Chain A
Amino acid sequence: MAWKYSDKVKDHYLHPRNVGELNSANAVGEVGSMVCGDALKLFLKVDPDTEKIEDVSFQTYGCGSAIASSSALTEIIRGMTLEQALHVSNKDLADYLDGLPEEKMHCSVMGKEALEAAVASYRGEEYVHDDEDEGKIICHCFGVTDKQIEKVVIENNLDTVEQVTNYTKAGGACGSCLHQIEEIITSVRSKHFPETAPQLDTRGSTSPELKKKVSLYKKIKIIEDILDKEVRPALGMDSGGLDLVDVEDDTIYVRLIGKCHGCVNSEVTVEFIREQIEQILGEKINVVNVE
């Protein structure tokens, strides 16, 4: 695929600035790996009295935009104090390059992370983003933690899983963490951008009383109704179906039948059922497939 790179990005990957090791460096930040497809090693020479970045260089393994982002980063932070440099966001980096393709935003995030790692090393702290304090790994393919995802969502005002993949690579390989990413986005957005948080869809059959506590009997009636109208027709298209086995508090037990029984995609199917019911019922529920 040919990327639309700005002239400035092109200029920086064709003529990268400040390349190589810096012998006088007293701070080094290293992020990424060859396995992941990109890596950046940032060298800083910091004046111990003023904490000013007197000299800076980089080494990058990666695509054109990774090289350009690294080169741009060194140009931006030269002469800044560490404090000032830490305020440079991945967006500043992308803006400096007249923008990066959405799918390449993770290159600017890598620049920002290398800078944080270098500053941490200068201050004698260890920079490991899979440390307990730094959150837990969500994407195991690229080693991305929930904290990193939260951070890019807040700093860049992201609201889709695709954007998070573009900015961090999380979810870009096997895709098994996509659902977790979505949950993080929802929870971060409801905290930080409450005015844009998605409202629960209360279409059709939701009666006002549903929003209050309903009896178990009524709840089962409603669930059966949703299954009949929304779920069974959809499963039927793939020659499948389901039985409602039991309802217990907020957990709904179903049994997939027909083609859905034992289908490799049953997890997706269960997730679909959960979404359908949650949407109309207006409350959080679990759906369990009893084989």
Chain B
Amino acid sequence: MSYFAFLAEHGTTLLLGTVTTIKVLVCSIILYVIISMIFGLMRLSKNPIIQGTATVYIEFFRGTSLLVQLFWAYYVLPFFGISLEAFTAGVAALGLNFGAYGAEIVRGGILAVPKGQWEAAHALNFSPVKRIKRIIIPQIFPIILPPAANLTVELLKATALVALVTVVDLTFEAKQINSITWLSAQCFGTALLIYYFMSRFALVPFLRWLEVLAAKKVGRGKV
């Protein structure tokens, strides 16, 4: 069977799987960004309870393996009466895991804004909201976006794991086709290429564009 015949027969299935992968990716990006911001700020809190909670959360999710967290969310939570759909469990585990890594990036980004900026905004009598919104946040983005972009590329690769809790994504479809046809080189090779193209020619350029945009906003970009 030639490769083109293989694509003609199974291409649509793989593409449908790719759509699911993109859905998982988008949902977990949204979740992980929100979680990173919340826990990144909590880590900087002066209240020891809030700070401690964030530290425990971050250490816990960074210390255990993502696959273990996924299986826990899908197979163990029903023991406590919480049955999640595979898709929800997958997105939740990905979001919580990457949120823990992201929180540290956010914390580092906030700390990297020079203290003088806070003081100057204070001295100019800006309200706390305006201080954060107009002075601090625009300066945080150029700092946190490069490491956050790396993390997001890692996230795209990590979405492959949701196939193991029965989410019908690209990896799942590739495995399925492999078990029917035993054309392993074709189906896994195609899956690898699709992931590669998604990362190299869609996700990475988009993230670079965001980085340039953020740098321009604070006048650091090349015009």
State yes or no: do A and B come from one complex.
no
Residues of A within 8 A of B (CB): none
Residues of B within 8 A of A (CB): none
